[in-house]
Amino acid sequence: MSFYCKLMSKMKLLLYFCIYVKIFSFIFAYELQHTDVVLLGGTGDLAKKYLWQGFFSLFQKYSNENSSFSFTAIGRTVYEEGTKKLKEILTSSVKCGKEKNDTCEEKKSEFISLVKYANLKTQYEYETFCQNLSKKEMSTKNGHIFYLSIPPSAYESTVKTLSEYCYRNDNETWTRFVLEKPFGRDLESAQQQANTIAEYVQETDLFRIDHYLGKSVVKQILLFRKSNKETLEPLLNRQYVDRIEIVMKEIIGVKDRTEFYNQVGVIRDVMQNHLTELLTLVTMELPRNLTDSKEIEEQRNRLLIKVRPVRESGILTGQYSKYLEEAIGAKGNLSQSKYTPTFAAALLKIENSRWTGVPFILMSGKMLDERSSYIRIIFRERIFCVTGCTDGNSSHMHYPRQLIFQIGHGDVPSPGILVSKSLFKPVWCPGLTELSVTSKDSLIHGQRPGDFHYAVSKDKHEAYKSLIEDMYLGCKESFVTLERLLLLWKIWSPVLESIETRVTRIYKEGADHSLNFRIDNDHLVFINDSQSDILELEDSIVHDVKPIISPTDMLMIPSTFMGENLVCKDLIFLFHSLADRIKNIAVMAIQKRNVFHLALSGGNSPVPLFQILAEDSDFPWSVTHIWQVDERCVSQKSDKSNFLSIYQNLIRHINIPFFNIHFMPVDINGRICEESDKGDNHYEEAVKYILDDLRFDAVLLGLGKDGHTASLFPGEKYSSFLSDNKLVAYTKAKDQSQRMSLLLPLINKARDIIVLVTGKSKHGILQTLSEITSNNAKIPITLVKPADGNLTWYIDYGAWMG
């Protein structure tokens, strides 16, 4: 046994610390304990499918002469009917499984006879019920477990009632409240729900269940990483990992849950919780001590802070074709059902030194071609096959190298861990048994079964069984803490809001290839018909743009506009080509002068550009200086602030030196554009000090409907815009609000000027400009004339065609 394996066995002992403590106290203190389990929603689906079996296992393992239990199912039906239903459920769902023997059967009968039914509605009924709980036994210690398997909308009121009548926090009683997801529907509601519950229950007594954390293979992830620390950890980073896929495919649909599903959709149902939790386990720093739940939690949260919120362009959604029909049948809210995704794929990014640049694909869907959930880590290929290559292509990069945690189903005989033989020979620790892989399919995750090392969990428990035991023992590491819950929501909340009314792709049940997608320049696109997705994306970026352009019109687009270069494209392509252009300018500038100076204007139009640039991890940010073209005279915290927009959409996502960020000083200690503060002069001085030749490498300008550019508006004194002895000045917008702006002499000195014009609403001004034969000094944009550089118009079809 290797050193790590030995360590693992010791750790496993420690991991069960909670069990030992309990057993120790039972045996040596002769403590008599009685536990009351109250299952609210005890005749519901979840109870039927998993919970009663889980409680039976608990009863089997822990009931003895010192430890007794009683169980109550609380349901909505009246007593006689409820009792009958409960008996039926227990008889059909509680099983002895493999250990079918007399002792187990006896225990099972004992268990079933212990479970009582109660129909509690009024406060008084709760009060009486709770009073009876602690009177039951002459025990020295009482445990109360309230498992809320009820609609989340009822959590707050139920917890309040229970806490009022049943919550005893004396030395003789411990209480646990168990909640099932969903915990809120976004960051705000989760926080609010948590606040309300915290008024009644202490966080230490709350157990938030994510059943994926109880799955046997999931419980092995950190142990496996630890036991293979020396070989695996040096590979688990951006240098070696090509991408990580975290997938949960289902063949079933929503069935009779459309009402619930309309509220959540697949992203809230499984991606914000199950799949992101899995992501954390494979990407967090490996805790030094796996018995230290505090350290594990800290590492998890440290990682989650670094996961960037998912972007709108990084998520694809779909809905199986029969979903609407099902919703109609269920008389659900049809206007909502239309937008409910039953499939989603999302691209996640982690911004830390270990993972920057690695794509993480999280994907889940109902009514797909197979049932399978897994984490698949695909390593970069560095091996070239020279001889013995089976595909006949001798120089072809050959063996796939991957590590797969097969969490449920799939093509393998049993959930387990698969490691490509070409990767390394793993050390399997006590919880795992090595097997040889067999599969009905010739390939598993693209690789021949025989090319994998494979091991399965020895303890193939149901997730709920293990979570119920952990909860009983008070081991909190298998549950979702409040801090983690809020971090998880921070990743998903913004995108959920922005795609709320996105039209989803309709897919056929089963194997529908139209769901196949690819990563394209840091966003996701469906492979077939990517055009229509781009249009959807455009709609969500700039709402007034619906470009419809025929191939003939496309051919008629000239290559210049007003005598300068013209790039005219579909919105999303326009942004990507502009981002490429800026990068090229940057690379050239750095080759020549070792530095790149970029001046950016504000407003809504360039936001998608900022986002694309922010996604580009190869951009030479460390030698880039970011300047502002103009700024509104508002507090820097105002959502009107141009700098805030540049900061939020770009700067905070990139590694740019602090001293390379040059924001216009419109807010000097809360004094907004006080002339006497001479903010314009200060900015001008900074330009003169840092830019020897006063030449920006690239200046990004916008164009207003009235022809303004930067913050140079029609109606101002043009001479002041053009005066050579001033480079930066306070100006006034049409509504007389104050601004700060670069002036034309400085703008016109730039090596590259780019004018970005998007959206239908700009069509009018483009038309006006195209009809101008001579310079019209009343339209500031016509005064933009590079002295010794290029000017390029970037115009999208919406603005071009109107």
Which residues would be at the binding site for ligand BG6 (CB under 6 A)?
248, 250, 269-270, 373, 408
- Comparison of 217 and 361: residue with beta carbon closer to ligand BG6: 217
Nearest distance from C-beta of residue 249 to ligand BG6, angstroms: 9
CB of 152 to ligand BG6, least distance (A): 12
Nearer to ligand BG6, 248 or 495 (CB): 248
User: What is the rounded distance in angstroms from the CA atom of residue 676 to the CA atom of residue 354?
Assistant: 48
Q: Which two tokens stand for residue 345?
A: 């794929």
Letter for the amino acid at 246?
I
Contact 533, 787 (CB under 8 A): no
Catalytic residue among 34, 144, 211, 274: 274
Contact 522, 616 (CB under 8 A): yes
**Residue closer to ligand BG6, measured from CB, 248 or 626:** 248
Rounded distance, CA 304 to CA 290, Å? 19
285: which residues sit within 8 A by CB, 6+ positions away? Answer: 299, 302, 303, 354
Smallest gap from Cβ 269 to ligand BG6, in A, equals 5
211 among known catalytic residues: no
Q: Which residues contact 177 (CB under 8 A, 6 or more apart)?
A: 146, 148, 159, 162, 201, 205, 206, 207
Q: Which is nearer to ligand BG6, 93 or 231 (CB)?
A: 93
**Strand pairing partners for 433?**
456
Q: Minimum distance from CB of 19 to ligand BG6 (Å)?
A: 24
In the complex, least distance from residue 480 CB atom to ligand BG6, rounded to whole angstroms:
13
Cβ neighbours of residue 720 closer than 8 Å, sequence gap 6 or more: 726, 729, 743
Closest approach of Cβ 275 to ligand BG6, in Å? 10
Q: Decide if 747 contacts 701 (C-beta within 8 A).
A: yes
Instruction: Return the exposure string of 169-181: e unless at least 16 CB atoms fall within 10 Å of the residue's CB, then b.
Output: eeeebbbbbbbbb
Of the candidates 324, 326, 321, 343, the one whose C-alpha atom is nearest the C-alpha of residue 335 is 324
Q: Please say which residue, 287 or 408, places its beta carbon nearer to ligand BG6.
A: 408
Provide the minimum distance between the beta carbon of 316 and ligand BG6 in the complex, in angstroms, as a whole number: 19
CB of 212 to ligand BG6, least distance (A): 7
Would you say 270 or 468 has its CB closer to ligand BG6?
Answer: 270
Nearer to ligand BG6, 270 or 612 (CB): 270
Smaller CB separation from ligand BG6, 232 or 368: 368
CA distance 691 to 698: 13
Strands (E), 629-720: 630-632, 661-662, 667-668, 671-672, 698-702
CA atoms of 591 and 594, how far apart (whole Å) = 6
Q: To the nearest whole angstrom, how small is the minimum distance from the Cβ of residue 460 to ligand BG6? A: 13
Could you tell me which of 313, 802, 375 has the C-alpha nearest to residue 548? 802
Residue 241 CA from chain centroid, whole number: 19
Query: What single letter denotes the amino acid at residue 484?
Result: R
CA–CA distances in Å: residue 421 to residues 184, 238, 283, 418, 425 = 43, 21, 22, 9, 7
Which SS3 state, helix, strand or coil, does residue 794 take?
A: strand
Q: Among residues 269 and 615, whose Cβ is nearest to ligand BG6?
A: 269
Strand partners of residue 791: 753
Closest of 639, 638, 649, 646 to residue 672, by C-alpha: 638
Q: How far is the CB of 248 from ligand BG6 (least distance, A)?
A: 6
In degrees and rounded to multiples of 5, residue 462 shows phi and psi of -75, 145
Q: How far is the CB of 481 from ligand BG6 (least distance, A)?
A: 19
Q: 731 by DSSP, 3-state: which? A: strand
| Residues 109, 118: Cα–Cα separation, whole Å | 20
Nearer to ligand BG6, 241 or 254 (CB): 254
| Cα 633 from chain centroid (whole Å) | 35
Q: Rounded to whole angstroms, how far apart are CA atoms 387 and 281?
A: 38
Name which of 269 and 570 has its Cβ closer to ligand BG6: 269
Q: Give yes or no for a contact between 284 and 303, defined as CB atoms under 8 angstroms apart.
A: yes
User: Can you read off the two tokens belonging to residue 629?
Assistant: 């073209």
For tokens 């996701």, name the residue. 524
Which lies closer to ligand BG6 via its Cβ, residue 464 or residue 610?
Answer: 464
- Cα torsion 559, 561, 566, 568 to 10°: value is -90
**Least CB distance from residue 211 to ligand BG6, whole Å?**
6
CB of 342 to ligand BG6, least distance (A): 10
**DSSP label at residue 88:** H
What are the CA-CA distances from residue 165 to residues 125, 129, 153, 654 (Å)? 10, 9, 20, 53
Distance between CA atoms of 247 and 225, rounded to whole angstroms? 20
Pick the closer one to ligand BG6 by CB: 269 or 752.
269
Q: What positions carry a catalytic annotation?
A: 274
